[in-house]
Amino acid sequence: MTNKHKRKQKRKIKLAEKLPKKTIRHNVAANQEKHRPDWQPLIPDEDGFVLDRRIMPRDEQDRRDGLLISAPQSFDAALNDAVWQEMAAETPFVLGKVVEVSRGICRAEVNGQIISCDVRGILTAEGTGYTNIVAVGDRVLVHMQAEDRGLVESVLPRRSGLARADSFDVYLNQIIAANVDQLLIVASWREPQIWFQMIDEYLIGAARNNLRAIICINKVDLAEDRAEVATAVRPYQRLHYPLLFTSAELGIGLEEIRRVLHGRTTVLAGLSGVGKSSLLNAVFPTFQLRTGDVSQLKSREGRHTTTQAVMLNLPTGGAVVDTPGIKDMGLAGLHADDLILYYPDVAAVEPCKFADCTHSHEPGCMVKQAVANGRLTEWRLENYVKLYQQLLKGLQN
């Protein structure tokens, strides 16, 4: 077991102890209802407890419930800018596109201008299945309060999104970016060393979110032999994923990047340091995204400042979301037996002679045969087996 997994397990146990605190329940011995007939009745469950929902006037609760409905839950692929514009036109508010989010505040593009917006405190992610209410890329209704300041009144339904299961509660998702079309998975050949398992996990994440995936291998200038890079990632090519080979340093492959980004909304995903921001700067020199040394981002007290996803419009149409590096992307909440859906190359192997074949020493093992004759790449199989084991043990949560 790697250290990473040990840490995760430890964290899980700690959390399990804390969990009961999450739902605070009050005994309704004091019959508040009798004294406040105009307020929300507290309906106890069979044990005589009610959920901790703040007591408030009936119409206030109705108003909040109405707002909760406006927090998006599922995706509607038919949505587009024209529809969102129509939705906004029916309200006293203006349409905004969120380009950056911090706690309780965001920056949104309104009428072509970026303004700061507070998020209405009563907007809550409760009941949406998400841990966060507003994400980069969200279309929102903005109540203008000054020329350069607004208040987010509501988050409009989403066309799509990149979500990942929350690390604390797999039944909840964190939405990283909303209304996006595709995921550009950036890996570096070296520094950090290319890590196929991570690419596999991002591919699974993209598929689970219904997003097109493109793989970009950056820092090819660090390869002694470029042909070696192409050979290494050939299994992905055989699975028909678009592949790009780039160097932000030497300006290689920039035109190809520009082409895949054109007119679409793309999230860049990859470990920190692989060159996501450098690539965007190289392709679009006006961006001037911060790159390089992570320690730069430490505050004076040595704490890491929370760098978050930012959305930038492309001069050529479309937009990109630069993320600081997403770990733990694809698998949380996935059932081990569904993993095979994301490994069509492994699934294509015919059944072995023995149903309980461990694919190690048994005669008539089709998996070993497929690896031997080159139809299945060994590291794809290894990744599959590794991830399957992790899912079985619940280590991917």
| Nearest CB to Mg ion, comparing residues 189 and 343 | 189
Rounded Cα distance between 17 and 34, Å, is 37
Is the peptide bond between 242 and the residue preceding it cis, with omega within 30 degrees of 0? no
Q: Which is nearer to ligand GDP, 56 or 250 (CB)?
A: 250
| Closest separation in Å from C-beta 298 to Mg ion | 15
Binding site partner of 125, from ligand GDP, Zn ion, Mg ion, none, Cβ cut-off 5-8 A by kind: none
Least Å distance, CB 291 to ligand GDP, is 3
Residue 273 beta carbon to ligand GDP: minimum distance, rounded to whole angstroms: 5
Q: Which does 132 bind (CB under 5 to 8 A by kind): ligand GDP, Zn ion, Mg ion, none?
A: none
Do residues 209 and 161 make contact, with C-beta atoms less than 8 angstroms apart? yes
Q: Does 248 bind ligand GDP (CB under 6 A)?
A: yes
Nearest one of 332, 342, 218, 222 to 269, comparing CA atoms: 218
Closest distance of CB 111 from ligand GDP, Å: 30
Distance in Å, CB of 324 to Mg ion, minimum: 6
Q: Please say which residue, 96 or 270, places its beta carbon nearer to ligand GDP.
A: 270
Computed on alpha carbons and rounded to an integer, the radius of gyration of the chain in Å comes to: 24
Contact letters for Zn ion, residues 352-391 (x by CB under 5 A) = x----x-x-----x-x------------------------
Residues 334-363 that bind ligand GDP (CB under 6 A): none
Return the residue of 150, 161, 275, 330 that touches ligand GDP, per CB under 6 A: 275
Site string for ligand GDP, 201-230 (x = CB under 6 A): -----------------xx-xx--------
Least distance (Å) between residue 308 CB and ligand GDP: 13
- Residue 266 is a binding residue for ligand GDP (CB under 6 A): no
Sequence-separated (6 or more) residues with CB below 8 Å from residue 191? 219, 222, 273
Out of Mg ion, ligand GDP, Zn ion, none, what residue 221 binds, judged by CB under 5 to 8 A for its kind, is ligand GDP
Closest to ligand GDP by CB, 71 or 252: 252
**Interface residue with ligand GDP, options 276, 365, 387, 397 (CB under 6 A):** 276
83 binds Zn ion (CB under 5 A): no
**Partner interacting with residue 292 (select from ligand GDP, Zn ion, Mg ion, none; CB below 5-8 Å by kind):** ligand GDP
What CA–CA distance (Å, rounded) separates 94 from 83?
13
**Residues that bind Zn ion in the complex, under the rule CB under 5 A:** 352, 357, 359, 365, 367
**Residues that bind ligand GDP in the complex, under the rule CB under 6 A:** 218-219, 221-222, 247-249, 270, 272-278, 291-292, 325
